[in-house]
Amino acid sequence: MGRLENGRKHVTFLHLLGAEMLKMRRTWILWLHILMPVLGIAVFLWYYSFSMWSAWGKISGYIEIVSIVCPVLVSFVSALAAEQEKQAGHFQNLFGTGRHRESNLAIKICLLMLWNLAALLLAVGGFGAGFSLMTDVKVPGKFYPILILITWVCQMFCYCFHLFLGIRFSRGISIGAGVVESLVAALMMTGLGDGIWQFLPCAWAGRFTGYYVQMTANADINKEFLRTQIETGGIVMLLMTLAGAGLLFMWFHNYEGRRMED
C-alpha cells in the first residue's frame, strides 16, 4: 500500500506540474526565460570579442551581471504569475480546495524554479560554450555547472518573497522591489557588502559565484577566508530560505484572496 500511495502522489505531482505548464505556456513568462539569456549572451560575447579585459575578468564580469539581473527577472516573472492567477477567478484556481492550496502553491514555485534553471542553463552554459570558442582559457569541466547550481539555489528565497508580494499586494510592488534588490545586489559586490551580504538574499548569488570564480582563477588568493565566508553564508542562506518558505505557506494557508488594491 505504501508504494502504491507514493506512486499515486508521484503521478499527481507530475500531472499538476504539467497542468501548470500548460496554463502558463501562452504567457510572457516562458519567453522571458528564453529571450533574456539569448540577448545577454549575444551582447556580452560581442563586447568581449574586442574588449581588452583578461579572460577571467570577462567571465567574472558576466556572472556578476547575471547575478544582478536575477532579482529583477524573478520579480517580474513572479508578478506575472500572480497576476495570471488573479485574472483567473481571483486566485480560485490557485486556492483549489482547502487541503490542496499549499500543493498548488508548491507546484507553481517548482515550475518557476525549473524555468529559472532552464534560463540559467542557457545563460551561463551558452555563454561558456561561446566564450570557449573565443579564447583558449582553460576552465574545469565542472566550473559552469557549479556556477549554474549556485545561482539557481540562491533564487529560492526570492521566488517565495516575490510571489508573496505579487499575490498579497500588486505587480508593481513586486517589480519595484526587484529593481531595488538588483541595485542592492550590485552594491553588495563591493566592499560595502562585507559582513552584511549574508543577510541579504539578493546578494547571495553574486557573492557565492564571485568567491567560486576567485577560488578557481587565482591560486594565490586566501582560499581559507573564502571558504569561511561561503560556509557562513551557506548556513544563513539555508536557515533564511527554510524560514521564508515556511512563513509563505503558513500565510497562504489562511489567505482569503484580498489584495491591497481591492
CA dihedral 95→71→73→88, nearest 10 degrees, is 20
The mean pLDDT of the chain is 86
Cell 556580452, residue located: 44
Tell whether 11 is covered by a domain.
no
Residue with cell 542562506: 237
Indicate whether 9 belongs to any domain: no
Residue 8 lies in a domain: no
Is 51 part of any domain? Answer: yes
> Which region among 20-29, 90-99, 111-120 has the lowest average model confidence (pLDDT)?
90-99
145-201 pLDDT tens trace: 999 999 999 999 999 999 999 888 888 999 999 999 999 999 999 988 998 999 999
Q: Is residue 154 part of a domain?
A: yes
Separation CA 161–CA 46 (nearest Å): 35
> Which amino acid appears at position 169 of this protein?
F
Q: Which domain holds residue 101?
A: 26-254
**Residue 63 maps to a domain:** yes
- The cell numbers describing 127, all together, are 555563454
SS3 letters across 219-244: CCCCHHHHHHHHHHHHHHHHHHHHHH
When pLDDT is averaged across residues 113-123 and rounded to a whole number, the result is 94
- Rounded Cα–Cα distance for residues 131 and 92 (Å): 47
CA 67 remoteness from chain centre: 9
Lowest mean pLDDT: which of 87-101, 142-156, 176-190, 203-217?
Answer: 87-101
What is the spatial distance between Cα 142 and Cα 159, in angstroms, rounded to a whole number?
26
Please indicate, yes or no, if residue 30 is contained in any of the structural domains: yes
Q: How far is residue 205's CA from residue 221's CA, in Å, rounded to a whole number? A: 20
Q: What is the pLDDT of residue 103?
A: 80
CA distance 20 to 194: 40
Is the pLDDT at 262 greater than 50? The verdict is no
Tell me the average pLDDT across 63-80. 93
**Residue 2: pLDDT over 50:** no
Confidence (pTM): 0.87
Does 78 score more than 60 pLDDT?
A: yes
Higher pLDDT, 188 or 100: 188
pLDDT of res. 135: 87
State the Cα–Cα distance between residues 207 and 189, nearest whole angstrom: 6
Residue count of the chain: 262
pLDDT of residue 124: 96
Q: How many domains does the chain have?
A: 1
Contact between 124 and 63 under an 8 Å Cβ cutoff? The reply is yes
CA distances from 104 to 4, 114, 153, 200, 252 (A): 22, 15, 21, 28, 11
Q: What is the DSSP letter of 257?
A: S
Over 80: is that where the pLDDT of 261 sits? no
Cα–Cα distance, 71 to 68 (Å, whole number):
7
Residue 9 has pLDDT above 80, yes or no: no
CB atoms within 10 A of CB 127: 24
Residue 175 lies in a domain: yes
Measured distance CA(202)–CA(206) in Å, rounded:
8
pLDDT at residue 5, as a whole number: 46
